[in-house]
Structure 1
Amino acid sequence: MSHNTPITEKRRVLVVGSGGVGTMVSVALERSNMASVTAVLRSNYEQVTQHGFEIESIDHGRLSNWRPSAVVNSVPMADLKAPFDYVIVTMKNIPEVNNIPKIIAPAITPGHTTIVLFQNGMYIEPPIIEAFPTNAVLSAPSYIGAHEHNGHVVHDDHDNFHIGVFHNTSLDEASEREKLEEFARIYNGSKVVDANIVDDIVFYRWRKLLWNGVFNPMCAITQLNSGAIRTFGGEHSLIRPGMMEMVSIAKADGYDLGPGIVDEVIDRPPLELAFRPSMLVDVDKGNPIEVEVILGNALRVAKEKGVPTPLLDTTYRFLKLIQARLLAARGLIVEPKELPTTDLI
């Protein structure tokens, strides 16, 4: 199929994880008139089934009682007559809590369905390729600023992201590229969002991780927002050294992020635009955090390549303890019983 072939029949798309990001992905696809979206909802299923989403979007304006083509409360079985062309994953990637390949498996038609990962983290694609060796995998580290609470979505940051193929060695690169171009064309069909095709998505994942793998954990540990951690002295003692370690890991992995990248990433948002990064928000809410995909996977690359990362290693250890507390509070792991203080010497 050439790059300009018109899409005559709507592509069938499943979106798994309809928080803020998932909902805005569904909106963009539906408004292109080239896709029919089925959204898998959990906590907000009843609310959206009855009342639709209330959306305030910087790109799409105000949408009231908005629904995608179909709303379901669990991942549907693939229909042989009308298989899903794309399965998009926007749910948090927390291996301790959810097994993504297992969750999406019922909806995947081997050799047909393209899997699109709108998720944080580094090297999140290999487990998907291992589970679905005949399916193309597209990867899109999302920068969209969107938050959902009980069917109400506030989308306040332009939907603009890079998307690329994470090459599956058992597939033909030309066919993977075709899927990529078709998906980007559909996504951009609403004319108000920007899905930018790139040749090497791993570079852009490392680039995003430079911020995400340092600010996110350190703000979560200190309970400080992105501006406060810098103002109170953390920029030079923690943030910059942590970023330099991350740059070294990327370089050992074959990705030179360029001179001055640390200054650029730190100085891009002005101090007065301080905010609570997503990992800190999760800690605030008592939700488990994406410690493995955001920091653990990067540190496994460091270990494999022999890159010393003393600061990030320590950060990871603290983060793992915070994760244990969050998992224990949810009853997902059992914490040791505390001794009454009177028994302590």
Structure 2
Amino acid sequence: MSNGTKESTAKRRVLVIGAGGVGTMVCVALERSGKAAVTAVLRSNYEQVVKHGFEIESIDHGKLSSWRPSAVVNAVPQQDPNAPFDYVVITMKNIPEVNNIPKIISPAITPNHTTIVLFQNGLYIEPPILEAFPSNVVLSAPTYIGAHEHNGHVTHTDHDMFNIGAFHNKSLDASFERAKLEEFADIYNGSGVVEAQVVDDIVLYRWRKVLWNGIFNPMCAITQLDSATVRLFGGEHSVIRPGMAEMVAIAKADGYELGDSVIEEIIESTPLESAFRPSMLVDVDKGNPMEAEVILGNALRVARAKGVETPILDTTYRFLKLIQARLLAARGLIVEPKELPTTDIL
């Protein structure tokens, strides 16, 4: 057998950083494809999973008892020149005030080899990764999967479907990036029960997701109302639809036409009978810092750069930053300022 054949049939080495609900289901999809050997980096659930494995109830994969990926570790491993990771997948929350993602993943990245895959919320989260790892392919995958994990028990209720694309690295050939993109999607889809859809311009799909995430998430976190109640109590026409109109205008200024019917489409994608507490509200409930910057802050930075007026979103961001400050201070991550702080956006 030739070396080329060995390389094409060998399992790809994949590291998944952040095996909560979403991360665990990413591990399951990749491992069950038979095309990847997955190492999962766990934190609070490490001892539980090492001893007992994951207990999973999945709408896609069924019930899995005592399930583990190929390897479980409690820290990001140092890259091995003789057996480098082919893919490093990040599913941990992206909170710049708390986590320096490039610094966290750096030990596992082999220059010119490892492809970095971002299963994270937010808009324009890729440039800091490209800056830190200029010789590596970066894939981006805004996901809509619904999965929750608690001490090794995972409930997966919404189908695993997402778009994935390469965020172009100008120092790399686009055909090489495309090959890595298609290989990863092929691996992910290998189990036959999930669907990763390859797209040409992933930024468009990040704008579409932030149209919901950048409005509903902050509004629910600020009001402490779920996705349906915030609409029923008058928020839909006073803040949600106007806020979405501002987000559509930012996207248009950035070169992305989301369509005349997109606001109606996005709102109707969350029917009143499907009320739930979005991730930012869940974070507030738990006293955890939120993904405020990557979801709303980054969109407003584009607005400022493009000269788009966003009074609804500006006010929303101000309130969101106050809540974030309280959450960070409660964790001892910031101290009470001695003088009035400023913002780099507003």
> What TM-score, normalized to structure 1?
0.95
Deviation at 1:336, TM superposition (A): 5.9
Deviation at 1:260, TM superposition (A): 1.0
Per-residue CA distance 1:111-155 (angstroms, 9 max, x = gap): 000000000000000000000000000000010000000100000
The whole-number CA distance in structure 1 between the counterparts of 2:38 and 2:271 is: 37
Aligned Cα root-mean-square deviation (Å): 1.1
The whole-number CA distance in structure 2 between the counterparts of 1:13 and 1:285 is: 31
The whole-number CA distance in structure 1 between the counterparts of 2:160 and 2:8 is: 23
The whole-number CA distance in structure 1 between the counterparts of 2:7 and 2:260 is: 42
Deviation at 1:90, TM superposition (A): 0.2
Aligned length: 333
The whole-number CA distance in structure 2 between the counterparts of 1:330 and 1:53 is: 29
Cα 1:192–1:6 shift into 2, 3 Å = farther
Runs of 4+ aligned residues of structure 1 deviating over 3 Å after TM superposition are: none
Residues 16-95 of structure 1: matches in 2 within 5 Å? 16-95=17-96
Specify the alignment match of 2:202 in structure 1: 201
Which ranges of structure 1 fall in alignment gaps of 5 or more residues?
A: 338-345
- For 2:77, the aligned partner's letter is P
The whole-number CA distance in structure 1 between the counterparts of 2:76 and 2:186 is: 25
Deviation at 1:334, TM superposition (A): 1.3
Cα 1:239–1:268 shift into 2, 3 Å = same
Residues 109-120 of structure 1: matches in 2 within 5 Å? 109-120=110-121
> What TM-score, normalized to structure 2?
0.95
Per-residue CA distance 1:268-295 (angstroms, 9 max, x = gap): 2221111100110010000000000000
Deviation at 1:267, TM superposition (A): 1.4
The whole-number CA distance in structure 2 between the counterparts of 1:272 and 1:76 is: 44
Specify the alignment match of 1:223 in structure 2: 224
The whole-number CA distance in structure 1 between the counterparts of 2:151 and 2:260 is: 44
Residues 140-151 of structure 1: matches in 2 within 5 Å? 140-151=141-152
Per-residue CA distance 1:226-281 (angstroms, 9 max, x = gap): 00000000000010000000000000000000011101111122211111001100
The whole-number CA distance in structure 2 between the counterparts of 1:332 and 1:300 is: 24
Specify the alignment match of 2:245 in structure 1: 244
- For 1:201, the aligned partner's letter is I
Identity %: 79
- For 1:71, the aligned partner's letter is V
Q: Does 1:282 align with 2:308?
A: no
Residues 1-345 of structure 1: matches in 2 within 5 Å? 7-335=8-336
Cα 1:336–1:122 shift into 2, 3 Å = closer
Conservation of the 8 A alpha-carbon contact between 1:7 and 1:34 = no
- For 1:24, the aligned partner's letter is M
Specify the alignment match of 1:343 in structure 2: none
Conservation of the 8 A alpha-carbon contact between 1:20 and 1:153 = yes
